[in-house]
Amino acid sequence: MPYITFYIALGLYLIASGGFIIYMIRQHDQAFYIAYRVLIGGFMFHTFFFAHRFYLMGVAPILGFKAALSFFSWV
pLDDT attached to residue 63: 79
Secondary structure letter of residue 63 according to DSSP: S
Cα–Cα distance measured from residue 1 to residue 52, given in angstroms and rounded to the nearest whole number = 11
Predicted confidence pLDDT, tens digits, the chain (75 residues): 668 988 999 999 999 999 999 999 999 889 999 999 999 999 999 899 888 888 888 877 777 787 787 788 787
Q: Tell me what pLDDT residue 41 has.
A: 96
Q: How far apart are CA 1 and CA 29, in angstroms?
A: 37
- Cβ-in-10-Å burial (0-12, 13-18, 19+) of 2 comes to exposed
Read off the pTM: 0.82
* Res 1: pLDDT: 60
Q: Which long-range contacts does 62-71 make (Cβ < 8 Å, 24+ apart)?
A: 70/6, 70/46
pLDDT, residue 71, reads 80
